[in-house]
Amino acid sequence: MSQLGDLQARMAEITRRLNSDGAGKTTQVIQDALAAAGLTPPSMSAGTKQKLAPQNFVSDLLGKLGLGGAATTPQADTQAPDLNGGKFVAGSYANTAGSRRYKVYVPSGYDGEAMPLVVMLHGCTQDPDDFARGTQMNALAEEQGFLVVYPAQEASDNSSKCWNWFKAMDQQRDQGEPSLIAGITNEVIDQYGLDRKQVFVAGLSAGGAMAIIMGSTYPDLYQAVGVHSGLPYASASDLTSALSAMRGASGTSLSSSRRGGASAKLQAIPVIVFHGDRDATVSPSNGTGLIDDFVARFEQTAASEEKISTVVEEGKTETGHRYSRTSLHVDGRPVLAEHWLIHGAGHAWAGGSARGSYTDANGPDASREMLRFFSTQRADSESLQD
C-alpha cells in the first residue's frame, strides 16, 4: 500500500475512534499515521509571524480540522472606540441554526450613506479582534470608506474556532453556518443602510474555505470572494477527506469530480486567490483548484461561448516576496479572477501586521489587492451569466 493509501486507511480508523473515544485517546494513532506517511511538522518560513502559543503538530492538526484545542471563554459584547478612529461595535445574530457573535468596524467618516461592506472570516484559533489587527482591514476601511463585519466562530461550535467548512450541512444555502453568516451580513446591511451592490466576502484558511462556500451558495448577496490559503467549495465532507484536501493529496481527481458535479453547476462568482507556495498547512494546489472551479462554472453558463484569456505576470514587492499573478479575462469585462502564488510564503496573510496571528509582513498586500479587485465587481456590472 502507498504511503498516502496507508495514511487514509489510518485516518478512517481515527474517525472511528474519535466517534467512540474522543480526540484525547487518538493522539498516538495520529502520530503513527503521520510518521508512516512521512509527514513531519511544517517549519515556519522566514518573515512569517505566528503569535500563537506553541503546540505540537498533532494538536495543531486536530485544531485545524476542528477536533482539538482548548475552548475559550467568549468575550462580552461591548462597543468601544477603535485605534483607527472609527468604532468597533459588537453584536450577535441568531436563527434556527444557532447563534454567532460578530464585530462591525464603522469608519469615522460614516454618516449614514450607503457604503460598501466587506465580510471577513477568520482562520482557526483566531477571533475578530485578532483578524482585524492582522489584516489591517479596519485601517483600510477608514482610508477608503466602507464597513467591515467579522463573524466570530464559537469554541462551543468548534473547539479551535474553525469554521466547519468540511461538514455537508455547512456547505449549503440556508443551512448551518452559511445561514448564520448570511444572516449577519443582511443584518448589518439593513442596520447601517449599506449598498447591496457592493457586498464582498473574504477569509483565511478555514475562513477562506467558508468564504468560497458563501460566494457559491449566496451569489445574490456577495459580488466577489477573496480566498487566502483556503480550499475549493465542498472539497471535503469528513475528517479523512479534509486531511487529504489540506495536504493536496487528492488534487486533480477531486477537482475533476467537482468540475463534473455540483460545483460546475454553481454560478461563476468573481474570485481573487492568494496562496504561499511553501504553505505546509493547506497545499498550494488548493489555490489552483479554486481557479479551476471558477473556469468550470463559467464554461457551464450562457457566457461559455466567450473565451477566457489568461495573463501571467511575475513581480516582487519592494520589501516582499516574489509572486506570480494569473489574471482571467474576457473581452469587455472586468478581470474575472486572479490567482496570486506567493513564492517563499507559508500559511499566513500576505502583507499583514505582526500584531495579528498567521501574518507575513513581506507582502504583497493581500488586503489592499482584494479591495482593488472588489472595486471592479459590482452587482450592476455586466453579469457573468449574461
Predicted confidence (pLDDT) per residue in 231-262, tens digit: 999 999 987 898 899 998 754 334 444 434 55
Q: Average pLDDT, stretch 127-148?
A: 98
Find out whether 338 and 373 touch, Cβ atoms under 8 Å.
Answer: yes
> Which three cell numbers, joined as nine digits, stand for 334?
472586468
By 3-state DSSP, what share of the chain in percent is helix, strand and coil, each rounded to 5?
35, 20, 45
ω before 364 within 30° of 0 (cis)? yes
Contacts of 104 (CB under 8 A, 6+ apart): 88, 89, 91, 147, 148, 149, 150, 188, 192
Nearest to 39 by CA among 280, 334, 327: 280
pLDDT band at 363 (very low <50, low <70, confident <90, very high): confident
Catalytic positions: 205
3-state DSSP assignment of residue 371: helix
- Residue 187: CB atoms within 10 A of its CB come to 16
User: CA 76, CA 152: separation in Å to the nearest integer?
Assistant: 13
- Residue 216: CB atoms within 10 A of its CB come to 26
**What pLDDT score does 291 carry?**
97
Burial 72-109 (b: 16+ CB within 10 A, else e): eeeeeeeeeebebebbbbbbebeeebeebbbbbbbbee
Q: Average pLDDT, stretch 25-44?
A: 42
User: CA 301, CA 200: separation in Å to the nearest integer?
Assistant: 22
User: CA 33, CA 35: separation in Å to the nearest integer?
Assistant: 5
Mean pLDDT value across the chain: 81
User: CA 164, CA 209: separation in Å to the nearest integer?
Assistant: 9
HSE toward the beta carbon, residue 246, CA cutoff 13 A = 23
**What pLDDT score does 10 carry?**
56
pLDDT band at 319 (very low <50, low <70, confident <90, very high): confident
User: CA 195, CA 147: separation in Å to the nearest integer?
Assistant: 10
Contacts of 203 (CB under 8 A, 6+ apart): 120, 121, 122, 123, 163, 209, 210, 211, 226, 227, 228, 230
Torsion of CA 183, 270, 205, 237, to 10 degrees: 70
Ranking 81-90, 141-150, 191-200 by mean pLDDT, the lowest is: 81-90
Q: Average pLDDT, stretch 152-177?
A: 96
- Percent of the chain, pLDDT > 90? 63
Condensed to tens digits (0 to 9), the pLDDT of residues 104-114 reads: 999 999 999 99
Nearest to 165 by CA among 223, 132, 205: 205
User: CA 108, CA 299: separation in Å to the nearest integer?
Assistant: 43
Strand segments, DSSP code E, in 175-321 are: 199-204, 224-228, 271-276, 309-316
HSE toward the beta carbon, residue 354, CA cutoff 13 A = 5
Of the ranges 26-40, 51-65, 77-91, 181-195, which is most confident?
A: 181-195
- Residue 9: CB atoms within 10 A of its CB come to 13
User: CA 341, CA 187: separation in Å to the nearest integer?
Assistant: 35
∠235-239-245 over CA atoms, to 5°? 35
Rg (CA), the chain: 20
